């Protein structure tokens, strides 16, 4: 996940400025805690690449609420480093991080180490009614947060196949056909190490559904077919890159013909010219989406007046107007966590990018394929370790 965040930032280079702060009803939900009488400075740390989707909306809040916020400092950091840093600050009673934007990794680590301020149900009255506003998949991802984070962006993710149509004449439609393809076209298919790759992780978590394994949520006792399949597939894979960026580079350069992908990793590298526009995607028979999300978390130790502002900011970021910014250039496609946020509400740059590089088949796939949440964090760690030891062997780079 960290490697993916870094790769995404490399791909994105910098987020294009998106114009205009949307109208917002002030203090709509921050009723329980007392808002400050003078503006506060906020520090936001991103460990998931989420600012590409939300920074403009957060800046819109500062512009809309100069009475509450004087300035906002944005920092990016690797997810594994954050829990230790927060714990040290909390033990010293000097917390200088007000909000963390994270994926499930640092969220889970923070829950385990009791680093986060409990938000739900304790402070539900200061937030919108999440179960009413969230998309189905976002609501399921919210259920993984232990009440200590709030979903801000969501996407169905994958796993999908991505291939170059001039090279792949007979596109696999089943897991068996994919395995046969790799045997007939050795070293033309590959994917990145799951522990460092969103598409790689989504691929191994999605395979148990495709293969009809006994328990898709149990990589120890329920993935017999999956582990056997991954090992057989690995016989035809030259090596496993450390992250998704390297995979997309090789696909774009023509040294590989096919990989696994997600909606965002399909669209955004083509927007940026890393992968040719003409690349195609497909889904294998039995496909289920394995969903993903980013969360807003507040560390313990943040003052009550800042907490009141942060809850108001969270509510602002969950309005339809601000959620529309999360379409961005498709890297977390679609992006919004909230119902009723359509592409025509997004900035012109986002609309243009997705109109040109998006795919009409996604609408049908998102509507029809089942949605599954990722493995629980402890099970994910086990799955990563088994893959490293049993599948990758000496082929990892």
- Helix/strand/coil for 155: strand
pTM of the full predicted structure? 0.85
CB burial class (10 A; 0-12, 13-18, 19+) of residue 37?
Answer: exposed
- Helix/strand/coil for 233: helix
Reported as a single tens digit per residue, the pLDDT across 14-27 is 333 333 333 334 44
Q: Specify whether the CB–CB gap between 11 and 274 falls below 8 A.
A: yes
CB burial class (10 A; 0-12, 13-18, 19+) of residue 14?
Answer: exposed
All residues at 6 or more sequence positions from 92 whose CB lies less than 8 Å from its CB, including other chains: none
Q: How far is CA 258 from CA 11, 22, 83, 167, 253, in A?
A: 20, 41, 36, 9, 12
Q: Give the Cα separation of 237 and 259 in Å (integer).
A: 11
Burial 264-286 (b: 16+ CB within 10 A, else e): bbbbbbbbbebbeeebebbbbeb
Q: Specify whether the CB–CB gap between 158 and 226 falls below 8 A.
A: no
Q: Give the Cα separation of 277 and 285 in Å (integer).
A: 25
Tokens of 135: 């998309």
The pLDDT, as a whole number, for residue 390 is 95
Tokens of 231: 């090992």
Q: Specify whether the CB–CB gap between 329 and 347 falls below 8 A.
A: no
Over its length of 397 residues, how does the chain's per-residue pLDDT go in tens digits?
434 443 443 343 333 333 333 333 444 444 458 999 999 999 999 999 899 999 999 999 999 999 999 999 999 998 889 999 999 999 999 999 999 999 988 898 899 899 999 999 999 999 999 999 999 999 999 999 999 999 999 999 999 999 999 999 999 999 999 999 999 999 999 999 988 888 999 999 999 999 999 999 999 999 999 999 999 999 999 999 989 999 999 999 999 999 999 999 999 999 999 999 999 999 999 999 999 999 999 999 999 999 999 999 999 999 999 999 999 999 899 999 999 999 999 999 999 999 999 999 999 999 999 999 999 878 888 998 999 999 998 665 5
Q: Nearest to residue 260, comparing CAs of 215, 202, 299? A: 202
DSSP of 57-73: HHHHHHHH-TTTEEEEE
Burial 331-366 (b: 16+ CB within 10 A, else e): bbbbbbbbeebebebbbebbbebbeebbbeebeebb
Q: Specify whether the CB–CB gap between 371 and 263 falls below 8 A.
A: no
Q: Nearest to residue 193, comparing CAs of 185, 178, 179, 204? A: 204
Q: Give the Cα separation of 185 and 53 in Å (integer).
A: 38
């Amino acid at each position: 996940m960290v490697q993916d965040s870094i790769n995404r930032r490399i791909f994105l280079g910098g987020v294009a400025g998106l114009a205009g702060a949307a109208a917002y009803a002030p203090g709509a939900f921050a009723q329980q805690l007392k808002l400050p009488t003078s503006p506060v400075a906020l520090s936001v740390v991103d460990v998931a690449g989420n600012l590409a989707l939300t920074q403009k909306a957060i800046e819109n809040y500062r512009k809309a609420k100069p009475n509450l916020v004087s300035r906002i400092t944005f920092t990016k950091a690797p997810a594994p480093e954050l829990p230790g840093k927060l714990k040290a600050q909390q033990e010293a009673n000097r917390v200088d991080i007000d909000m963390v934007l994270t994926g499930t990794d640092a969220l889970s680590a923070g829950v385990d180490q009791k680093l986060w301020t409990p938000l739900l149900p304790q402070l539900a009255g200061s937030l919108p009614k999440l179960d009413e506003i969230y998309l189905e998949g976002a609501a399921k991802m919210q259920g993984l947060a232990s009440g200590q984070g709030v979903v801000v962006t969501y996407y169905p993710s994958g796993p999908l196949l991505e291939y170059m149509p001039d090279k792949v004449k007979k596109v696999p439609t089943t897991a068996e056909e994919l395995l046969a393809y790799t045997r007939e076209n050795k070293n033309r298919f590959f994917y990145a190490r799951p522990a460092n790759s969103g598409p790689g992780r989504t691929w191994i978590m999605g395979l148990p559904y495709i293969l009809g394994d006994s328990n898709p949520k149990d990589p120890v006792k329920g993935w017999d077919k999956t582990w056997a399949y991954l090992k057989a597939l690995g016989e035809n894979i030259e090596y496993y890159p450390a992250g998704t960026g390297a995979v997309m580079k090789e696909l774009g350069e023509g040294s590989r013909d096919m990989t696994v992908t997600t909606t965002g990793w399909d669209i955004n590298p083509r927007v940026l010219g890393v992968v040719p526009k003409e690349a195609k995607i497909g889904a294998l028979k039995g496909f289920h989406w394995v969903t993903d999300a980013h969360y807003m978390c507040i560390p313990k130790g943040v003052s009550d007046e800042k907490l009141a502002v942060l809850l108001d900011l969270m509510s602002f970021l969950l309005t339809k107007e601000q959620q529309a910014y999360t379409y961005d250039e498709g890297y977390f496609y679609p992006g919004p966590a909230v119902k009723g946020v359509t592409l025509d509400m997004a900035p012109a740059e986002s609309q243009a990018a997705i109109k040109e590089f998006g795919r009409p088949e996604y609408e049908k796939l998102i509507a029809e394929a089942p949605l599954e949440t990722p493995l629980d964090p402890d099970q994910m760690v086990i799955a990563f370790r088994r893959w490293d030891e049993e599948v990758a062997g000496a082929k990892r780079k």
